[in-house]
């Protein structure tokens, strides 16, 4: 219905609002196809550009996403649940399970890109690791894919001298992963700090995670400590926010 | 410099990339004013619309933000640090401190809007609280402001019969806040679950938090448990992602 408010809004915004109302009311559910440009042109008597702008609003707000050549669909939020604390408990990596397996329940998270290099430490990483800027660090970069869709970029930094000669410098770190190897080296992680923020992706991040329009990334910076003030790893993660819920469970 | 790649990109995108490079290189630091439309028109020999589109790209990606009538500025990320676990430790609310004070360090977070109502429980909240859908819940809605800028919307749900007659049903819950009152009622929170996700804001959220373009929100859904499976509060929080870093510290 046209309220006095509506008349002050551009036509494409009015159409976008009508579509949002229809989604809120359940007329279009998660995964449903929304009316296309032709439908909107006929229903609302507008030009193609106006119809396209209306659908663009929903995509920019992350409410709908376009599938090329098929149409625009209501977004289906069926996220992975990443349990920050449970997944880093010692039972996980102590018994040779990868720390990532807690994420996936019955869905299969796969590493499809991995690189291990030795580089000069970036200044901010050096500060957290407590090494001099420019000291060598082992850099492990991985991309994780769920059902063929990239969902997570992970770049891990460890002091190069600390991990020299261990499987941490290999693509395959072996059973229990990096943390099991650190324990064998006498630097068992006993404490973790995770810092989380969110922002819009860079073009490169959007490409690597194949993000739809209107999809922010969540950033997790995890620091592993082998003792008071003794950081042994910094892991910078970039997550597709449409694919993840982060969970932290703790006692008062 | 024009590479073959550049020539395939629209002009506004090339200008946006040049501005991003200048920000990355430090030519423009956090809080600095970027060249305006007139500057870009003169430097790049483009129309005003092209210059505006270029600045729009940076705003959409959250790299820069417009201040009305002043110009477009490199975003300054100087976030609040919200410590998820430390801030909910009993020393905080046990000794009469508000659970929010851990957030603010030397900056002052103020409630500028508060409402307390009794409503029928939404279905999803009822499920978490373990009450029948439609049962009455006490709903506490607050908006928190930092230095005059809204940064957090918080809506807390508690079973109405559980909190009846207590200060939880008042705007001012008294020293130690809701959790201290729950303890006095024999429902002391002993365990917390926080679930975090991120998405673009609705128009209403963007208005209430006064978000710039290209700014996602982070959502925290916190459940407080007074015992195994005994949820006593669900708190849905909506945070300006440009104002917050969330931190969780825990042992292996």
The answer to which of A103-117, B93-107, B127-141 has the lowest mean pLDDT is: B93-107
Helical H segments across chain A, by residue range? 4-8, 11-24, 37-44, 48-60, 90-94, 101-104, 123-129, 160-163, 177-184, 203-208
* pLDDT for the residue numbered B3: 47
Give the tokens for residue A187.
């630097």
Cα B211 from Cα B153, distance rounded (Å)? 13
Contact B216 A198 (CB under 8 A): yes
Contact A61 B201 (CB under 8 A): yes
Q: Where are the extended beta strands (E) located within B178-229? A: 191-199, 217-227
Chain A residues bordering chain B (beta-carbon distance below 8 Å): 60-62, 79, 84-85, 88-90, 188-202, 214-218, 241-242, 244-252
* Region B80-247: CATH code: 3.40.1410.10
Give the tokens for residue A183.
């324990």
- Minimum-distance CB partner of B192 among A189, A217, A252: A252
Average the pLDDT over B41-67 and give the result. Answer: 93
Sequence-separated (6 or more) residues with CB below 8 Å from residue A198:
A216, A217, A218, A219, A241, B198, B216, B217, B218, B241
Chain B residues bordering chain A (beta-carbon distance below 8 Å): 60-62, 79, 84-85, 88-90, 188-203, 214-218, 241-242, 244-252
* pLDDT for the residue numbered A123: 85
Cα A246 from Cα A103, distance rounded (Å)? 10
For the ranges A33-47, A57-71, B61-75, B97-111, the one whose mean pLDDT is highest: A33-47
- Asked if residues A217 and A198 have their Cβ atoms less than 8 Å apart, the reply is yes
Sequence-separated (6 or more) residues with CB below 8 Å from residue A166:
A181, A184, A185
Contact B249 A192 (CB under 8 A): yes
CA end-to-end span of chain B: 50
Average pLDDT, chain A: 88
Per-residue pLDDT at B138 exceeds 90 = yes
C-alpha torsion sign, points A152, B77, A195, B216: negative
Q: Identical fold at A4-74 and A80-247?
A: no
* pLDDT for the residue numbered A3: 47
Enumerate the residues of chain A whose CB falls inside 8 A of the CB of residue B244: 197
Average the pLDDT over A40-48 and give the result. Answer: 95
Confidence of residue A96 (pLDDT cuts 50, 70, 90): low
Q: Tell me if the domain spanning A4-74 has CATH number 1.10.10.10.
A: yes
Cα A62 from Cα A40, distance rounded (Å)? 20
Average the pLDDT over A34-53 and give the result. Answer: 95
Q: Which of the pair, B130 or B238, is modelled with greater confidence?
A: B238
Per-residue pLDDT at B246 exceeds 60 = yes
Strands B191-199, B244-251: pairing kind: unpaired
Strands B244-251, B80-83: pairing kind: parallel
Average the pLDDT over A73-77 and give the result. Answer: 89
The answer to which of A70-74, B85-89, B149-153 has the lowest mean pLDDT is: B85-89
Average the pLDDT over B85-114 and give the result. Answer: 69
- Tell me the shortest Cα–Cα distance from B83 to chain A, in angstroms: 9
Confidence of residue A124 (pLDDT cuts 50, 70, 90): confident
C-alpha atoms less than 13 angstroms from C-alpha of B114 in its C-beta half-sphere: 12
Average pLDDT, chain B: 88
- Asked if residues B153 and B237 have their Cβ atoms less than 8 Å apart, the reply is yes
Per-residue pLDDT at B1 exceeds 90 = no
- Asked if residues A185 and A162 have their Cβ atoms less than 8 Å apart, the reply is yes
Give the tokens for residue A15.
């159409």
* pLDDT for the residue numbered A92: 63
H or E element that contains B118: strand B109-120
* pLDDT for the residue numbered B132: 86
- Tell me the shortest Cα–Cα distance from B133 to chain A, in angstroms: 18
Confidence of residue A2 (pLDDT cuts 50, 70, 90): very low
* Per-domain residue ranges of chain A: 4-74, 80-247
Enumerate the residues of chain A whose CB falls inside 8 A of the CB of residue B198: 198, 216-218, 241
User: What phi and psi values does residue A54 have, to the nearest 5 degrees?
Assistant: -60, -45
Q: pLDDT over 70 for what percent of chain B?
A: 90
**Segment A166-192, tens digit of pLDDT:** 999 999 999 989 999 999 999 999 999
Per-residue pLDDT at A1 exceeds 50 = no
Cα B161 from Cα B121, distance rounded (Å)? 12
H or E element that contains B111: strand B109-120
Enumerate the residues of chain A whose CB falls inside 8 A of the CB of residue B65: none
- Tell me the shortest Cα–Cα distance from B63 to chain A, in angstroms: 9
* pLDDT for the residue numbered B81: 82
Per-residue pLDDT at B56 exceeds 80 = yes
Tell me how many helices (H) and strands (E) chain A has: 10, 10
* pLDDT for the residue numbered A213: 86
Per-residue pLDDT at A99 exceeds 60 = no
Any idea how long chain B is? Answer: 252
Cα B46 from Cα B102, distance rounded (Å)? 50
The answer to which of A222-236, B67-81, B227-241 has the lowest mean pLDDT is: B67-81
If one counts every other C-beta atom within 10 angstroms of the C-beta of residue A205, the result is: 16
Region label for A192, one of left (φ > 0), alpha (ψ between -120 and 50) or beta (otherwise): beta
Contact B191 A251 (CB under 8 A): yes
Per-residue pLDDT at B4 exceeds 70 = no
- Tell me the shortest Cα–Cα distance from A169 to chain B, in angstroms: 23
Give the tokens for residue A195.
């810092």
């Amino acid at each position: 219905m046209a309220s006095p408010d509506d008349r002050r809004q551009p036509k494409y915004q009015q159409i976008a609002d009508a579509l949002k109302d229809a989604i809120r009311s359940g007329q279009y559910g998660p995964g449903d196809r929304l009316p296309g440009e032709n439908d909107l042109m006929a229903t609302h008597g507008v030009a193609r550009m106006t119809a396209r702008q209306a659908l663009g609003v929903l995509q920019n707000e992350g409410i709908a996403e376009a599938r090329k050549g098929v149409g625009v669909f209501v977004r289906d939020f069926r996220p992975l649940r990443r349990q920050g604390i449970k997944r880093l408990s010692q039972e996980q990596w102590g018994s040779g399970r990868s720390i990532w397996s807690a994420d996936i329940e019955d869905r299969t998270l796969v590493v499809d890109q991995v690189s291990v290099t030795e580089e000069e430490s970036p200044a901010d990483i050096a500060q957290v690791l407590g090494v001099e800027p420019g000291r060598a660090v082992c850099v492990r970069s991985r991309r994780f894919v769920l059902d063929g869709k990239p969902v997570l970029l992970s770049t891990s930094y460890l002091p190069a001298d600390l991990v020299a000669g261990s499987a941490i410098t290999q693509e395959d770190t072996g059973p229990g992963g990096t943390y099991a190897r650190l324990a064998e080296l006498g630097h068992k992680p006993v404490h973790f700090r995770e810092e989380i923020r969110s922002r819009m992706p860079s073009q490169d991040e959007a490409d690597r995670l194949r993000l739809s329009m209107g999809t922010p990334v969540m950033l997790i910076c995890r620091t592993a400590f082998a003792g008071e003030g003794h950081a042994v790893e910094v892991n910078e993660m970039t997550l597709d926010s449409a694919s993840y819920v982060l969970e932290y469970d703790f006692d008062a």
